[in-house]
Amino acid sequence: MSNYITATRFNDLQVGGKLDQKRYPELGAVNASYASTASVDYISPSVIENLASISAQRQVQIPTFINGTIVVGDAPGYNNIPSNLLESDTFTVQAYNIFSGFRHYESTYDNNVMDSQDAIDTKMKRVTYEMAKVKEQIIINILETKKTQVLDFTEQVSATTGDYSFSTSTDILTIKRAVQNETMFYTLEALAEANEIMGAGRVITNRAGLVRQKVEALKYGAGNEQNLEALGFYGADRMHQSSQISALTDMFNGFYLKDGAIGLYSNFPYEFRNGKVLNDRKWTISDVELPFLKSRCNIYTREGVTDSSALVGTHNSNLDSNTIMSTFSEMAIWDRFYVATTPNKESATRSNDIFKIKGTVA
């Protein structure tokens, strides 16, 4: 494999191991949003296609029919046919940009025990992970903004008074410790359904936020007295954790969201989607979704010449001769994407499909 950098290096990049001491904990908000995207049903395929290429100068206006009143009567007749007209509105999606990259000086590894290939792979992993951390915080901020302001039927799903309670001053659903067990997910699903929010859900919390629920579930394996499937217990793919959500003084803080509540759509500017090549400069789109970011990205690469001796320094007052008239490769990674959330013009009186949740220590 060449030590020069191209976008196709991501095709074979292995996320784990080698000599890298950096740790890569889960970015739960990115993973949950990525999984949620496939269930978005409020954006048409043609609009999704346009989002991939639309310019930043064009504001994206997506049409939707708002919730309205349908007239139903009990008197048949030509004069009694209601018009029942639909009222439409538009909503917008916000574009975000995350940008980074790196340079690689191949000659500096000629007399180095560190391998040049490993160095490139490590840089690619570290850069994409740090970019994904920015993406994680963007998504958490959006979930915070879009969390429901109203949530009814908390007493109906509580075993004892106040097991589940919703505050309209903080917009937080509080869950007592006594009910933070293997039945919690079923109860959240029932609460969502009672508020007319259908579909499968998932949970994002701080690190170790759902340990108690998992431990409770492990007590009841196949053949034991509890049927976890009947209890609606979530699989590992629906329980996410994020280092960018703090537990504070609680067991957990985070979000419950329905699949489709949030969607991520990549955008590719003109030069990148057309694969422009100009001398040693190349604009392209990654063939695969990049590690941690969970999206295909815009990739710019360039090769050049430089004196990189300052990177190595001197030994016995001598410069590293490999680096005096050397070459370099550089890569820029641009994750440009739109974020969509379920439109709800009546959010002051009707639940959104994102709940902010808190599990107390008492």
pLDDT tens string 154-167: 999 999 999 999 99
The rounded distance, in Å, linking the Cα atoms of 166 and 347 is 15
Helix, strand, coil percent values for the chain (each to nearest 5): 25, 25, 45
And the tokens for 266? 């990549």
- pLDDT tens string 104-150: 777 666 666 667 778 888 889 999 999 999 999 999 999 999 999 99
Q: Are 310 and 240 in contact (CB under 8 A)?
A: no
What rounded mean pLDDT belongs to the chain? 87
**12 pLDDT above the threshold of 80:** no
55 versus 163: the higher-pLDDT residue is 163
The rounded distance, in Å, linking the Cα atoms of 126 and 208 is 24
Calculate the alpha carbon distances from 47 to 53, 70, 78, 92, 178 in Å. Answer: 10, 28, 39, 12, 46
Domain boundaries, the chain: 1-44+95-362
Q: Are 293 and 131 in contact (CB under 8 A)?
A: yes
Q: Are 100 and 130 in contact (CB under 8 A)?
A: yes
The rounded distance, in Å, linking the Cα atoms of 333 and 11 is 15
> Rg for the chain (alpha carbons), in Å?
26
242 versus 316: the higher-pLDDT residue is 242
Chain CA centroid to CA 345, Å: 24
> What is the per-residue pLDDT for 1?
41
Q: Is the dihedral of CA 356, 215, 39, 199 positive or negative?
A: negative
The rounded distance, in Å, linking the Cα atoms of 157 and 164 is 7
- pLDDT tens string 258-267: 999 999 999 9
And the tokens for 137? 């915080």
